Amino acid sequence: MRAKALFVTSIAITALAAPQSAQARPFEDPRAGLIPAIDADTAFQAEPRDPACHAAVMASTGGALPKNPRTLAVRWTGYANFELAFNGQIVLLDAYFDRGSLHPSLGFKAADVKKTDAILIGHGHHDHMSDAASVGARTGATVVGAPVTTEKLATQAIDAKQVRTVTGRGGEVLQLGAFKVEPILGEHGDPPAALVGAFDTALKATTTPPTPEQIAEQATIRQRGTQDRRVRSEGTIAYLITLDNGFRIMYRDSGGRVTDFEKAAMQRVGRVDLGLIAVSAAYLNSATVEQALEHVRTYKPDVYMPAHHDAPFNNLWRATEPLFQAVKDDNPRIVTVSKGYREPTCFNTEHNISRSR
Ligand SMILES: [Zn+2]
């Protein structure tokens, strides 16, 4: 370990001495500023630029996997979609890629996703699962979801043998290569109807209405998810993911209240390294902040990456800065990260903060 630490130091000095590399490393581990030894991109590699940590191309669409097997590359791809690339494997969290012309483009289509080992679906609304069946069928990935989600998958063109149903009520562990996945029953977030109604009215009054073609397009996409009422109470699954070296991730794709199942799981593991957590849909910062604080106080992530904060052209993105300020006021050590579609954030999982403390 001593020799490794010295090596890291020498690389860091070399990098500082070379001005072009100092300004050309935007995607290093976001905790690097807190712990100088952390830099997933250079710590273990003679080759300083790992495309997996710099290019805005997903590994699942033909981009590079991290060269170092201990590097985790995380990419947000709209709504609550993330790609995790680690140790030669790819795991997709949610699958909602072909969103239609009312949405900003993600820069790739569902049909471009050629490689993935697993798809974990947080819940079965179309904006979380609409491309899970097609991507799963093309890649042969294991697709995981709650009963109401996998019932929908059973009506779609994917082999039932690839599909795993989980309830999140405890005792379920899926070992997917280097990823240990524990499903935990969460709760869907539903903002007050009066609030949503008022904002919808204002948005309708100030934006261009969709064309009949766009309405038809949305209806087709919507059909690839479920609107079953069970999604809210028994169909929203949080996933606690533990990598083979102990690095922990909590993924939650809806901004609802924390459940007793989540509290119990977090009491057991204490904290996570990375939280990928959906923002509440409540528009007002006072409400979204309150929900985000409950999430981060429960999961205790070192690094907080929000999810589900983008929106169609005729709607409002959910502001992340007020959340970031509030969680930092609550815990000055937390690191907040929000990047553009497909931009990677790389973690040196060997140097997660808990070991370094
Ligand atoms: Zn939903």
Beta-sheet strands, E only, within the chain: 71-76, 82-86, 89-93, 118-120, 142-145, 163-165, 174-176, 179-185, 237-243, 248-252, 272-278, 301-307, 335-336, 344-348
pLDDT at res. 29: 64
- Where does the pLDDT of residue 190 fall: very low under 50, low under 70, confident under 90, or very high at 90 and above? very high
CA of 51 to the centre of ligand 1 (A): 33
pLDDT at res. 50: 85
CA of 90 to the centre of ligand 1 (A): 24
What confidence tens digit (pLDDT) does each residue in 28-87 have? 566 655 443 334 444 444 445 788 988 999 999 999 999 999 999 999 999 999 999 999
pLDDT at 144 over 60: yes
CA of 226 to the centre of ligand 1 (A): 10
pLDDT at res. 348: 87
How many of the other CB atoms lie within 10 Å of CB of 195? 14
pLDDT at 216 over 70: yes
Region 259-269: mean pLDDT is 97
pLDDT at res. 240: 98
CA of 35 to the centre of ligand 1 (A): 37
CA of 355 to the centre of ligand 1 (A): 36
Region 256-266: mean pLDDT is 97
* Residue ranges near ligand 1 (ion) with Cβ within 5 Å: 125
CA of 123 to the centre of ligand 1 (A): 7
Least-confidence region, from 17-21, 69-73, 181-185? 17-21
Give the CA dihedral 279, 282, 283, 287, nearest 10 degrees: -80
Instruction: Say if residues 168 and 146 touch (Cβ distance below 8 Å).
Output: yes
CA of 189 to the centre of ligand 1 (A): 7
CA of 314 to the centre of ligand 1 (A): 18
Burial of 241 (0-12, 13-18, 19+ CB in 10 A): buried
CA of 255 to the centre of ligand 1 (A): 9
pLDDT at res. 355: 56
Least-confidence region, from 27-41, 44-58, 239-253, 265-279? 27-41
Q: Distance (Å, rounded) from C-alpha 39 to C-alpha 290?
A: 32
pLDDT at 1 over 90: no
Q: Distance (Å, rounded) from C-alpha 106 to C-alpha 91?
A: 18
CA of 280 to the centre of ligand 1 (A): 11
CA of 188 to the centre of ligand 1 (A): 6
pTM of the model: 0.88
Q: Say which residue the tokens 């309150």 belong to.
A: 290
How many of the other CB atoms lie within 10 Å of CB of 80? 27
CA of 152 to the centre of ligand 1 (A): 14
What is the per-residue DSSP string for 318-343?
PPSHHHHHHHHHH-TT-EE----TT-
